[in-house]
Amino acid sequence: MKHVAMIFLAFMFVMAFHFAVSGSNLAFADDEHGENYKHEQRGEHEKEEGPYKEIGKTVGWGTVIAMGTAGIIFPLRRSVKAVITNFPTTKKPFISLSKFFGKYHIVFGIIALALGSIHGLTMYLSEGELEGGGLVGLGAVALMAFAGIFGAVLFKNKKRKTFRTAHTILITIAIILGLVHIIAA
């Protein structure tokens, strides 16, 4: 539980830092000289961003962090033999790190799915429509949900290789769609 609290605090720090950096819109305008300051430079396509959009962006980056944390188990497990063979002094910390991420893989996967859903909902509320990038993001979250179903079956029976392959393929496609979503946004 101590490790979960530490990761949660780190996650909250990253989200708070992102919100502090991107959420402050400071404007300095002194009307000492009788000038009127209007936003004439702002085009029609650049509208004021509301609170839902800022929250949605922050939660979206939280989704990326949660997916990365849940997915780090894959390269750790693939590289455990090579790392232990080439660097025997790192055996104990590497195995404990691998066990830690294996233990909380499901928790981070559920957090990523929940944050992805919240991100989509808040962005839809702020924009009022579902555009191309939003549809791609919706597809990524849907694939994450299907991968979660396969993951739930794997939780009960870890020897189902076809379910493990389907889980991995669906998450890989969801990551690709997520990257396309980020680039399109």
137: which 2 tokens? 């993001």
Each residue's pLDDT tens digit, 22-72 = 655 555 555 555 555 455 454 444 455 677 888 889 999 999 999 999 999
The residues spanned by each domain of the chain are 47-129, 135-185
- Chain center to CA of 182: 11
Encode pLDDT of 88-127 as tens digits: 898 888 888 889 998 999 999 999 999 999 999 999 888 8
Cα 151 to Cα 102: distance, rounded to the nearest angstrom: 13
The tokens of 145 are what?
């949900």
User: Phi first, then psi: what are they for 31, rounded to 5°?
Assistant: -100, 40
